[in-house]
């Protein structure tokens, strides 16, 4: 039985222990291994599936888990108190202890636990208010009541940000762009209750490499472009530097007199230098409780997605994420896709000792989703000390990589099939495509070919194939899971995003990590300042700087 909210709230005294202190972990190491060739059959395909939310299904039939292993993973979940700790996160406990912060990205898309107050402010209200302000702003831009310096409407939006201010919003934009442009249900106001369709083209500037800004700025018209400067701290080196490029491009535009304050908004924290500036048309806020890699559902993703696609599309996306958050409360791991995905991942990482995971979306729309997951997962759980700062004696977060299928099949799948290491796989697929056009060719549509390829790969990886020519021999026993839905809609995308956020959260809790800080990025920043400032530095660093003529 799932405890009530009230029961959960009352059991706030949690035990934090390392994975290797959990009794189930030792049992898992001794549990009989599963041969996929032995167990994979249609009954298993039907049985090993759990709906997450928004129609998204998680199928783990091709994962090497038995009922006994699942029972032990259930025990592990309970011994590590994963659901109560998730409840603590939802309730606004200080779950980022290293930085003494709450972890509130779930609150940007709904409220599952009690009110979260900070300095007497209700933070759900704060996040919802930012979303409303953004919606109002975006509607004015779309209606042409907010115009550029020369009185022309904006047709392009450029996000200037890096890391979580770039990867998530970019991946989400690309995930919906084809749908919004092509699907008749979204395009051109034919959809009831919304004008639908893509409102503005989006571009992104992230890298401090000047060639990034130069290339992007060469393919937009500053006169009709709205720039969103995104930096929580307001001090991100790359983003402030790229702001200078934007200001330069506005000044040099043939359309004279373009004023930055008519073409730039910012998304930042209320206390940042950007928020204090009057150089922006408007400012929208996040706070310290939203980590960059978890900020797609906050104002960081909200401004960009609301401007590009309209506020109601962003609201649908949030609704999907909220559904996945709700689904993740379920304590029975066989009924909780994010929790189960997390635990199977831990089994693969710590018991089977597999150091990498590939994410393989059979959807061109998700072309940059693996890059977002790379940050989400590797920055959250790429840690070697636990939440109390003690070294852990087991592997934590894996290397995450991936590219869309079928492209990957013609690239790195060779190693996945026949390499010396086994890489666990996460397939993502959709029965239908996003665009309005599909063609029959040689008796099947492209979408059917796409999905036939995907399921064929699942079977090939799991089952392999013996061949008397060892070069053509496939060992099989290569595990994969499949996340799938009817179609990649805004709601499904929100659910997919939140599924992974919650998976990573649960894994961090199993490993007893603080998944919400990123101290590992600090040293490089310090040394960079030494190089640029000509300060005393390690002589080898000075020698490398000289090589690069800095």
Shortest distance in whole angstroms from residue 166 CB to its own copies:
7
Q: How many residues bind its own copies (CB under 8 A)?
A: 155
Residue number, 116 or 180, with CB nearest to its own copies = 180
Q: Which residues are catalytic, by number? A: 379, 410, 525
> Which residue, among 14, 1, 6, has the nearest Cα to 84 in the 3D structure?
14
182 binds its own copies (CB under 8 A): yes
Residue 153 is a binding residue for its own copies (CB under 8 A): no
DSSP structure string for 320-371: HHHHHHHHTT-S-GGG-HHHHHHHHHHIIIIIS---EEEEEES-GGGTTHHH
How many Å apart are CA 485 and CA 429, to the nearest integer? Answer: 7
Three-class secondary structure of residue 52 per DSSP: strand
Among 2, 115, 129, 519, binds its own copies (CB under 8 A): 519
Please provide the distance, in angstroms rounded to a whole number, between the alpha carbons at the two ends of the chain: 63
Q: Which stretch binds its own copies (CB under 8 A): 151-159, 314-322, 403-411, 501-509?
A: 403-411
When asked if residue 207 is in the footprint of its own copies (CB under 8 A), the reply is yes
In angstroms, give the least distance from the CB of 423 to its own copies: 7
Within 297-336, the residues that bind its own copies by CB under 8 A are none
Residues 273-302 that bind its own copies (CB under 8 A): 292
One residue of 17, 261, 522, 535 binding its own copies per CB under 8 A: 522
Asked if 185 touches its own copies (CB under 8 A), the answer is no
Say whether the peptide bond before residue 406 is cis (omega within 30 degrees of 0). Answer: yes
Instruction: Rank residues 2 and 519 by Cβ distance to its own copies and give the closer one.
Output: 519
Question: Nearest-5° angle of CA 54, CA 1, CA 57?
Answer: 20
Report CA 279 to chain centroid distance, whole Å: 31
In the list 64, 429, 490, 508, the residue contacting its own copies (rule: CB under 8 A) is 429
Nearest-5° Cα angle at 142, 136 to 143: 85
Work out which of 2, 7, 115, 209 binds its own copies, going by CB under 8 A: 209
d(CA 522, CA 258): 37
> Among all chains, which residue has been given the structure tokens 């961090």?
508
Distance CA 346, CA 69 (A): 12
Query: 110 to 139, contacts with its own copies by CB under 8 A?
Result: none
Helix axes 337-346, 311-327, angle to 10 degrees: 60
Nearest distance from C-beta of residue 550 to its own copies, angstroms: 5
The tokens describing 366, both together, are: 């998700």
CA proximity to 7, closest of 152, 114, 103: 114
Judged by CB under 8 A, the residue of 96, 131, 149, 178 near its own copies is: 178
Judged by CB under 8 A, which stretch of 18-26, 146-154, 333-341, 400-408 contacts its own copies? 400-408
414 touching its own copies, by CB under 8 A: yes
Q: Which residue from 67, 145, 442, 536 is in contact with its own copies, where contact means CB under 8 A?
A: 442
Helices 82-90 & 490-510, crossing angle to 10 degrees? 120
Candidates 82-90, 163-171, 260-268, 272-280; binding stretch for its own copies (CB under 8 A): 163-171
Please check whether residue 193 is in contact with residue 446, taking contact to mean a CB–CB distance below 8 angstroms.
no
Q: Which is nearer to its own copies, 94 or 445 (CB)?
A: 445
- The interface with its own copies within residues 5-44 (CB under 8 A) comprises 40-42, 44
User: Could you tell me which residues are beta bridge partners of residue 535?
Assistant: none
CB of 147 to its own copies, least distance (A): 26
Question: CB-wise, 276 or 436, nearer to its own copies?
Answer: 436
């Amino acid at each position: 039985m799932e405890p009530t909210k009230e029961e959960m709230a009352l059991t706030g005294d949690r035990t934090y222990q390392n994975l290797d202190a959990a009794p189930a972990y030792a049992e898992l190491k001794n549990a009989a291994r599963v041969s996929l060739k032995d167990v994979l059959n249609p009954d298993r395909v039907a049985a090993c599936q759990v709906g997450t939310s928004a129609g998204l299904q998680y199928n783990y039939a091709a994962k090497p888990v038995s009922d006994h292993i699942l029972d032990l993973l259930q025990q592990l979940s309970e011994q590590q108190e994963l659901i109560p700790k998730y409840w603590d996160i939802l309730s606004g406990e200080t779950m980022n202890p290293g930085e003494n912060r709450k972890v509130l990205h779930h609150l940007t898309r709904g409220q599952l636990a009690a009110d979260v107050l900070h300095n007497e402010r209700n933070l759900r209200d704060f996040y919802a208010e930012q979303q409303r302000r953004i919606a109002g702003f975006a509607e004015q831009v779309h209606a042409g009541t907010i115009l550029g310096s020369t009185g022309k409407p904006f047709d392009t939006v450029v996000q200037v940000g890096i890391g979580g201010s770039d990867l998530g919003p970019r991946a989400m934009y690309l995930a919906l762009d084809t749908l919004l442009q092509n699907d008749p249900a979204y395009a051109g106001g034919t959809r009831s209750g919304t004008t639908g369709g893509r409102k503005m083209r989006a571009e992104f500037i992230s890298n401090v490499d000047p060639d990034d800004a130069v290339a992007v700025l060469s393919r937009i018209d500053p006169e009709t472009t709205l720039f969103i400067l995104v930096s929580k701290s307001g001090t991100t080196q790359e983003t402030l530097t790229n702001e200078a490029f934007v200001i330069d491009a506005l000044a040099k535009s043939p359309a004279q007199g373009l004023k930055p304050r008519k073409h730039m908004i910012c998304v930042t924290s209320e206390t940042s230098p950007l928020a204090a500036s009057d150089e922006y048309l408007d400012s929208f806020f996040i706070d310290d409780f939203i980590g960059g890699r978890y900020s797609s559902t906050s104002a960081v993703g909200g401004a960009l997605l609301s401007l590009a696609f309209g506020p109601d599309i962003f609201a649908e996306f949030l609704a999907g994420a909220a559904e996945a958050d709700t689904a993740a409360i379920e304590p029975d791991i066989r009924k909780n896709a994010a929790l189960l995905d997390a635990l199977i991942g831990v089994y693969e990482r710590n018991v089977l000792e597999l150091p990498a995971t590939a994410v393989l979306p059979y959807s061109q729309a998700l072309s940059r989703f693996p890059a977002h997951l790379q940050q989400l997962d590797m920055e959250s759980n790429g840690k070697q000390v636990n939440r109390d700062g003690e070294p852990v004696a087991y592997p934590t977060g894996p290397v995450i990589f991936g590219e869309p299928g079928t492209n990957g099949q013609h690239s790195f799948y060779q190693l996945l099939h026949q390499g010396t290491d086994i890489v666990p796989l996460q397939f993502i697929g959709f029965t239908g495509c996003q665009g309005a056009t599909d063609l029959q060719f040689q008796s099947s549509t492209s979408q059917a070919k796409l999905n036939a390829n995907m399921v064929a790969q699942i079977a090939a990886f799991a089952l392999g194939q013996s061949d008397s020519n060892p070069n053509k021999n496939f060992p099989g026993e290569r595990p994969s899971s499949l996340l799938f839905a009817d179609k990649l809609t805004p709601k499904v995308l929100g659910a997919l995003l939140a599924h992974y956020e919650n998976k990573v959260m649960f894994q961090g809790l199993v490993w007893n990590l603080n998944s919400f800080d990123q101290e590992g990025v600090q040293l490089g920043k310090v040394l960079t300042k030494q190089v640029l400032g000509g300060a005393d530095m390690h002589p080898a660093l000075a020698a490398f700087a000289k090589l690069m003529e800095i």
